Chain A
Amino acid sequence: NAGVMQNPRHLVRRRGQEARLRCSPMKGHSHVYWYRQLPEEGLKFMVYLQKENIIDESGMPKERFSAEFPKEGPSILRIQQVVRGDSAAYFCASSPGTEAGNTIYFGEGSWLTVV
């Protein structure tokens, strides 16, 4: 009965490199969300995906960031040409649907440090 699985838990990248964060939703969940959390701040919505579709990417920076949730395999958040300001915790969450009141379940997060 695995929960939301994220990897890697910790990732260090040099400026200009690429970061790839993976997320496998809870069993039976087809909706995936990515949130970013800067130190001492709240969770900021980035993107909402269903299998093979981006539903809402209104919180995603227009450049360097992309997300996918392929038919097979985990959801991936990709950050190209990372900068120091990308250092944050990236949380993935999943839910069974979008009905009001559906709880979203979070993974343990991926901590990205850009040096």
Chain B
Amino acid sequence: GQSLEQPSEVTAVEGAIVQINCTYQTSGFYGLSWYQQHDGGAPTFLSYNALDGLEETGRFSSFLSRSDSYGYLLLQELQMKDSASYFCAVPNAGKSTFGDGTTLTVKP
């Protein structure tokens, strides 16, 4: 089976940097994805790591260490609009298994 662990809540101030961790246990591993979901909205794709290392997309970066079964999402220069839930997910045979999500609150 698949299971993913991530913190339930994180709080940070505008302009700061925040890291959201995700550890996983999977029977087969093809990569780690991250999604953002605002209250009442659809999850939207942020990034995907198939290989170890850091992937950077603007203010957001995602890191993967396959040997540690661990990844993180790094958000820099936080803005109020970044307040949302962030989910890590493992794709496998078409479907994806999601973590329970981390609620990020950005304060002024």
Question: Which residues of A approach B to under 8 Å, CB–CB?
Answer: 31, 33, 35, 41-45, 48, 55-56, 59, 91, 95, 98, 100-109
Please, which residues of chain A bring their CB within 8 A of the CB of B48?
A: 101, 103
Interface string of B23-34 (1 = CB under 8 A from A): 000000011010
Interface size counted on chain B using CB atoms at 8 A: 23
Max chain B CB contacts within 10 Å: which of A42, A103, A106, A108? Answer: A42
In the complex the two chains form, is B43's CB within 8 Å of A43's CB? Answer: yes
Chain A residues whose CB sits within 8 angstroms of the CB of B95 once the complex forms: 33, 45, 48, 56, 59
Given the complex of chains A and B, what is the CA–CA distance between A103 and B91 in angstroms?
9
Docked-complex contact B91 and A100, CB < 8 angstroms: yes
A41-B101, A101-B48, A103-B45 known; 16 other A-B pairs, CB under 8 Å?
A: A33-B94, A42-B100, A45-B95, A45-B96, A56-B94, A59-B95, A98-B94, A100-B30, A101-B50, A101-B91, A104-B96, A105-B45, A106-B42, A106-B43, A108-B42, A109-B41
Contact for B94 among A31, A41, A106, A108, CB less than 8 A? A31
The residue in A48, A59, A101, A105 that gathers the most chain B C-beta atoms within 10 A of its C-beta is A101
Please, which residues of chain B bring their CB within 8 A of the CB of A95? 94
Q: Say whether B97 faces chain A, with CB atoms less than 8 Å apart.
A: yes
Bound together, the chains give a CA A53 to CA B95 distance in angstroms of 15
> Which B residues touch A100, using CB under 8 A?
30-31, 50, 91
A-B residue pairs in contact (CB < 8 Å), sample of 17: A33-B95, A33-B96, A41-B101, A43-B89, A44-B98, A45-B96, A45-B97, A59-B95, A98-B94, A101-B31, A101-B48, A103-B45, A104-B45, A104-B96, A106-B35, A108-B41, A109-B42
